[in-house]
C-alpha cells in the first residue's frame, strides 16, 4: 500500500470513529387492554407484561373519567384531552368533538404525513367513531385474535408502521360475562392471561424485525377503565387504570410509585414526543414517557406534589369529577382557572393560573396527600404550613395537617367499656359515664398480661376487635394474638403470623400485615381496614369473602367519602355506633343504618372524649381555625414536628352550606426546617 493510500485509509477510519452514531428510528407500539383494572396487575401471572415493566415502569395510580366507560376512556387515551373537551360521555359517542381534538394518529398524519400509522381494534366503535384522518391502516378487527393476527402481519413488514395502536377487548367481555372485574373472577383473570400471551407474541415479532437494532421502540400498555360489578360508576374500583411505558429510552422504575402518576391523557403527547413531533397547545396531558424518580423527602422544600394546582389544565365542566394529579380525592375537588367563574377571586401575587375548588357543593369534600417522612432525622424539626384560602358566602376552605407515627391506635368496645390503646398506653373508657375511668391511662403491660409476647412488646398495636364470644383479637405488624377477656390473659400458642391464618388478608396491598383498624358487626361481617382498602371477613367460615378488598369511598361507606384512606380505631358501642379516628378527629358510623352520622368529622377534645383529648397531642394541626372563608388571603402556621413521625398527611377540606359559589384554595405548602 502506498503512503498516500495509507494516509487516506487512516483519515477515513478517524472520521468514522469521530462521527456520531446514527440515531435510531423512533417507533411506537400501544397495546390497549379494555377493562384491565390497575390493581389486578400483580395478582395474575403476566410474565410478558412483567418483562416490559422491568424494562420501564408501570403505574396503577391513575384514574379514568368519572363515567368509567369505554368510549370516554379510549377517547382520553387517543386524544390527550379529558371528557369535558373531547365530549364523549358514554358509548354512544354523542357530543364527540374530534374536530377540535382529533386522535393522535390523525395528528401525526397532519404533521408528518410520511409516517406510517396503523390501528387494529377489537371494539368496533373505535374503528368507526374516531376520525383516523389519513391513517394508513384502520382495521375493524372484531376480535382479539384478529387484532393479534393483523398486528403480527404489520410488524412483519420490512418498513412496518411507525405507530401501531391496538385494542384487545376480552378482559372487558369476560368481566361483563362473569359480572365481576376482579382477581377472584376466573374468567376475567384468564382473559388477562390471554392478553399477556398476545403481548409475548407481539414482542417476539417486534424483536425479529430485520432492522430492529436501528429502531427505538416505545411500548405503551394502557387501559380504558377498571370495574367492579360491571363498570360505569364513579368509584375507585371502576376508575382505576394502569399505564406502562417500556423501551430503551424509558427510565427503569419498575413499580416505583409516582405521586404525579401517568394519566390517560398523557399517552397521546408521550407518543408525539417520542416521535420528535410538536405537541399542540391545549392538550390536557404531558409527555411522561421519561419520568424522573420520585425525590426523597428533604428539608427546605415543598413536600407536596402539585400544591399549586398548576400540574394539570383547569377543567371546563364543574360537573366533571376529574382526577387531581398528586391528590387523593374525597367526594370532590377540582382544578379550575381563576377566570373560569365570576365568583372566583383574583389570584394573589405570585400565584399561577389555576386553583383548587370543592366542585360539588352538595356535600363536604376533600383533597388529601400523604408524604413519607421515613429516613429523616426529625429531632427538633419544625414544619411550615401555608396556603391561599377563601370562599364564597356560606362556604369555607380548611387545611389540616396530621402526623402519623408507629404508635398506632387500636380500640374495641365490650359491654359498658371501651378499650383504647395507643403506643404503650391503655385507656379504659366508661361508656355510661362517657369519660376515661379514673387512674388511666395505664401501661398495657400491666393491664393486659400476655401482650408482651408480641415482637417489640406490648405496645404500638395496629387493630383489635372482640369476636362476640369473649375472645379478643389483637393485630400488630405481621402478627396476631387471641386474648381471653374473662380469664384476662392471652391464649396459649400466640402470637401467630397473620398470613396463613387469616385467609384472604394477603390480598391487601402490601400483604397480610400492618392493619389500620377492625370493625366487628357480626360473626359474618368483620371489616378489616388497611390504607384505602377494606376486606369483609366471615369468622364462621374463617376466610375473607370473595371479591375483596374493596376501596373506601362514599359508595362503600356512605357518609365517609371525605376520608378515603387511613382509618384508625373502630370503637364499637352497644348503641350500634362505631367511632373511627384520625389524628385530631373522629367520625361516628351507624352500623344499623350503614352510614356515617351527619355533623362529622368532629374534633377529639375534652368535650367529646373526656380523658382522650391528649390521644394525638402534638400530631394534629389546622392552618387557619378561624379563617378560610370570605376573601382570598394567605395563611401560614409553624410548629414542631413529632420526632417519631413517619408520615404527614395534608388535607384540603371544602365545606358547603349552599349551592352558590364554592370554597377555594391555592399554593398549599408544607416544608420542614431544622
DSSP letter string, 20-47: PPPPPEEEEEEEEETT--GGGBTTB--H
Give the model's pLDDT for residue 278.
Answer: 96
Helices 144-155 and 186-207: crossing angle in degrees, nearest 10, is 10
Please state whether the predicted TM-score (pTM) of the whole model is above 0.85.
yes
Nearest to 451 by CA among 500, 417, 491, 407: 491
Domains belonging to the chain, first-starting first, are 25-274 (3.40.720.10), 328-404+620-673 (2.60.120.200), 410-603 (2.110.10.10)
Residue 553 scores a pLDDT above 90: yes
Residue 289: the pLDDT is 84
pLDDT attached to residue 276: 97
H or E stretch covering 569:
strand 568-572
pLDDT classification of 440: cutoffs 50, 70, 90: very high
pLDDT at 3: 41
Contacts of 389 (CB under 8 A, 6+ apart): 397, 398, 399, 623, 624, 627, 628, 632, 633, 635, 663, 664, 665
CB 345 within 8 A of CB 664: yes
Instruction: Give the N- to C-terminal CA distance of the chain in Å, as an integer.
Output: 74
pLDDT band, very low/low/confident/very high, at 560 (cuts 50, 70, 90): very high
Average pLDDT, the chain: 94
The residue with cell 371525605 is 562
Q: Is the pLDDT of residue 17 over 90?
A: no
Q: Span 452-467, mean pLDDT? A: 97
Across 525-562, b (16+ Cβ under 10 Å) vs e yields ebbbbbbbbbbbbebeeeebbebbbbbbbbbebebbbb
The answer to whether 315 and 633 are in contact (CB under 8 A) is no
pLDDT, position 21: 57
The tens digit of pLDDT for each residue in 44-58 reads 999 999 999 999 999
What pLDDT does 147 receive?
Answer: 98
CA distance to 172, 375, 512, per residue, from 638 (Å): 50, 22, 37
Kindly tell me the burial class for residue 130, based on how many C-beta atoms sit within 10 Å of its own C-beta (0-12, 13-18, 19 or more): buried
For the ranges 20-29, 240-249, 416-425, 646-655, the lowest mean pLDDT is seen at 20-29
Q: Are 366 and 651 contacting, i.e. CB atoms less than 8 angstroms apart? A: yes
Burial of 633 (0-12, 13-18, 19+ CB in 10 A): middle
Q: Is the pLDDT of residue 13 over 90?
A: no
pLDDT of residue 7: 45
| pLDDT per position as a tens digit, 266-325 | 999 999 999 999 999 999 999 998 888 888 899 999 999 999 999 999 999 999 999 999
Res 294: pLDDT: 84
Q: How far is CA 389 from the centre of its chain?
A: 25
Q: Is the CB of residue 191 less than 8 Å from the CB of residue 173?
A: yes
Say how far apart CA 298 and CA 122 lie, in whole Å.
48
Residue pLDDT, tens place only, 184-226 = 999 999 999 999 999 999 999 999 999 999 999 999 999 999 9
Q: Which residue has the cell 387500636?
A: 410
Predicted confidence (pLDDT) per residue in 643-669, tens digit: 999 999 999 999 999 999 999 999 999
- Of the candidates 477, 467, 464, 471, the residue with the CA atom closest to the CA atom of residue 427: 464
State yes or no: pLDDT of 8 exceeds 60. no
Q: Is the pLDDT of residue 580 over 70?
A: yes
CA 622 distance to own-chain centroid? 25
* Digit-coded pLDDT (tens) for 96-132: 999 999 999 999 999 999 999 999 999 999 999 999 9
669 vs 674: CA distance, rounded Å: 17
The arithmetic mean of pLDDT across residues 431-453, rounded, is 97
Q: Please identify which residue in the block is written with the cell numbers 404489520.
A: 154
- Give yes or no for residue 16 having a pLDDT over 60: no
The DSSP call for residue 586 is E
* 492-512 pLDDT, tens digit each: 999 999 999 999 999 999 999
Residues in Cβ contact with 178 at an 8 Å cutoff, skipping those fewer than 6 apart: 185, 186, 187, 188
80-97 pLDDT, tens digit per residue, is: 999 999 999 999 999 999
- For residue 94, count CB atoms less than 10 angstroms from its CB and return exposed for 0-12, middle for 13-18, buried for 19 or more: exposed
Amino acid at each position: 500500500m502506498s503512503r498516500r493510500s495509507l494516509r487516506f485509509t487512516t483519515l477515513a477510519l478517524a472520521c468514522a470513529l469521530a462521527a456520531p452514531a446514527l440515531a435510531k428510528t423512533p417507533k411506537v407500539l400501544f397495546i390497549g387492554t379494555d377493562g384491565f383494572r390497575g390493581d389486578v396487575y400483580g395478582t395474575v401471572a403476566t410474565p410478558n407484561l412483567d418483562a416490559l415493566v422491568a424494562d420501564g415502569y408501570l403505574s396503577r395510580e391513575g384514574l379514568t373519567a368519572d363515567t368509567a366507560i369505554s368510549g370516554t376512556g379510549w377517547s382520553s387515551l387517543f386524544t390527550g384531552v379529558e371528557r369535558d373537551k373531547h365530549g364523549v360521555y358514554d358509548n354512544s359517542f354523542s357530543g364527540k368533538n374530534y374536530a377540535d381534538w382529533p386522535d393522535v394518529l390523525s395528528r401525526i398524519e397532519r404533521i408528518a404525513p410520511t409516517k406510517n400509522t396503523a390501528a387494529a381494534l377489537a371494539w368496533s366503535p373505535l374503528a368507526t367513531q374516531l376520525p383516523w384522518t389519513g391513517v394508513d391502516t384502520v382495521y375493524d378487527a372484531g376480535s382479539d385474535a384478529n387484532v393479534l393476527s393483523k398486528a403480527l402481519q404489520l410488524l412483519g413488514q420490512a418498513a412496518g408502521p411507525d405507530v401501531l395502536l391496538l385494542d384487545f377487548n376480552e378482559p372487558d367481555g369476560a368481566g361483563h360475562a362473569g359480572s365481576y372485574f376482579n382477581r377472584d373472577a376466573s374468567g376475567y383473570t384468564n382473559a388477562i392471561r390471554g392478553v399477556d400471551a398476545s403481548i409475548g407474541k407481539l414482542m417476539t415479532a417486534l424483536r425479529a424485525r430485520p432492522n430492529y437494532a436501528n429502531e427505538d421502540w416505545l411500548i405503551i400498555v394502557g387501559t380504558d377503565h377498571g370495574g367492579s360489578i360491571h363498570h360505569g360508576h364513579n368509584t375507585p374500583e371502576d376508575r382505576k387504570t394502569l399505564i406502562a411505558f417500556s423501551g430503551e429510552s424509558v427510565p427503569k422504575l419498575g413499580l416505583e410509585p409516582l405521586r404525579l402518576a401517568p394519566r390517560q391523557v398523557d399517552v397521546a403527547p408521550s407518543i408525539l414526543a417520542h416521535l420528535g413531533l410538536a405537541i399542540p397547545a391545549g392538550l390536557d396531558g404531558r409527555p411522561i414517557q421519561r419520568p424522573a424518580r420520585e425525590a426523597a423527602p428533604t428539608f427546605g422544600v415543598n413536600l407536596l406534589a402539585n400544591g399549586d394546582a398548576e400540574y394539570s389544565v383547569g377543567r371546563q365542566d364543574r360537573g366533571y369529577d376529574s382526577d387531581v394529579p398528586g391528590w387523593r380525592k374525597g367526594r370532590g375537588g377540582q382544578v379550575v382557572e381563576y377566570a373560569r367563574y365570576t365568583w372566583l377571586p383574583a389570584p394573589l401575587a405570585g400565584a399561577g393560573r389555576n386553583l383548587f375548588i370543592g366542585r360539588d357543593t352538595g356535600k363536604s369534600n376533600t383533597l388529601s396527600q400523604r408524604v413519607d417522612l421515613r429516613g429523616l432525622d426529625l429531632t427538633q424539626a419544625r414544619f411550615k404550613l401555608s396556603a391561599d384560602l377563601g370562599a364564597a358566602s356560606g362556604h369555607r376552605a380548611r387545611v389540616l395537617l396530621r402526623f402519623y407515627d408507629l404508635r398506632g391506635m387500636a380500640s374495641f368496645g365490650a359491654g359498658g367499656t371501651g378499650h383504647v390503646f395507643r403506643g404503650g398506653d391503655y385507656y379504659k373508657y366508661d361508656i355510661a359515664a362517657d369519660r376515661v375511668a379514673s387512674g388511666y391511662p395505664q401501661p398495657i403491660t400491666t393491664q393486659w398480661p400476655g401482650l408482651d409476647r408480641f415482637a417489640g412488646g406490648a405496645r404500638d398495636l395496629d387493630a383489635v376487635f372482640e369476636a362476640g364470644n369473649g375472645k379478643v383479637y389483637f393485630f400488630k405488624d405481621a402478627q396476631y394474638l387471641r386474648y381471653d377477656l374473662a380469664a384476662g390473659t392471652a391464649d396459649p400458642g400466640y402470637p401467630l403470623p397473620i398470613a396463613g391464618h387469616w385467609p384472604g388478608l394477603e390480598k391487601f396491598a402490601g400483604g397480610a400485615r400492618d392493619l389500620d383498624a377492625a370493625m366487628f358487626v357480626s360473626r359474618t361481617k368483620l371489616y378489616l381496614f388497611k390504607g384505602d382498602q377494606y376486606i369483609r371477613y366471615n369468622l364462621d367460615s374463617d376466610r375473607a369473602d370473595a371479591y375483596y378488598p374493596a376501596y373506601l369511598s362514599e359508595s362503600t361507606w356512605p357518609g365517609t367519602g371525605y376520608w378515603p384512606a387511613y382509618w384508625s380505631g373502630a370503637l364499637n358501642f352497644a348503641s350500634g355506633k362505631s367511632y373511627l379516628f384520625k389524628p385530631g378527629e373522629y367520625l361516628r358510623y351507624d352500623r344499623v343504618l350503614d352510614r356515617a352520622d351527619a355533623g362529622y368529622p368532629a374534633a377529639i377534645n375534652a368535650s367529646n372524649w373526656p380523658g382522650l383529648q391528649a390521644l394525638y397531642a402534638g400530631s394534629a394541626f389546622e392552618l387557619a381555625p378561624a379563617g378560610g372563608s370570605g376573601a382570598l388571603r394567605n395563611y401560614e402556621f409553624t410548629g414542631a414536628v413529632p420526632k417519631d413521625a413517619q408520615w404527614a398527611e395534608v388535607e384540603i377540606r371544602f365545606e358547603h352550606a349552599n349551592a352558590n359559589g364554592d370554597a377555594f384554595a391555592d399554593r398549599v405548602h408544607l416544608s420542614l426546617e431544622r
